[in-house]
Amino acid sequence: MSNRLSREKINYLSKRILEALTKNDHVEFLDDPNEIRLNIVRSIEEEMRLYEALDKRAIEKIQTQKKSIEEGTREWEILYRKYYNEELSKLGKLTE
């Protein structure tokens, strides 16, 4: 269930975020705009790695069930969401 973003998409997003910040009168840059964009890229990549790790943990939990559960079935999807949300909750990233 990985939602990996390509390098091009991450760069595109970082440029759009920087543009939005540049247009905001309440934002003042204390560093070079390209350096800020690179920090945005690193932040997006870090978040993507985090969510990929959560994805792997959820899948591992499903695979350790006593009963074999086939990927793509409704039961698998329900368990995946449950375990993924549990991992998100542990990180304080799940808002209810």
Q: pLDDT digits over 38-85, tens only?
A: 999 999 999 999 999 999 999 999 999 999 999 999 999 999 999 999
Domain membership flag for residue 66: yes
Q: Is the dihedral of CA 84, 89, 90, 93 positive or negative?
A: positive
pLDDT at 5: 87
Range of the domain at 59: 7-91
Q: Is residue 96 part of a domain?
A: no
pLDDT score recorded for residue 95: 58
On whether residue 51 sits in a domain, the answer given is yes
The answer to whether position 1 is within a domain reads no
What's residue 10's pLDDT? 96
In a domain? residue 2: no
- Judge whether residue 94 has pLDDT over 70: no
Q: What is the domain count for the chain? A: 1
pLDDT tier at 13 (50, 70, 90 boundaries)?
Answer: very high
Torsion of CA 53, 54, 58, 63, to 10 degrees: 0
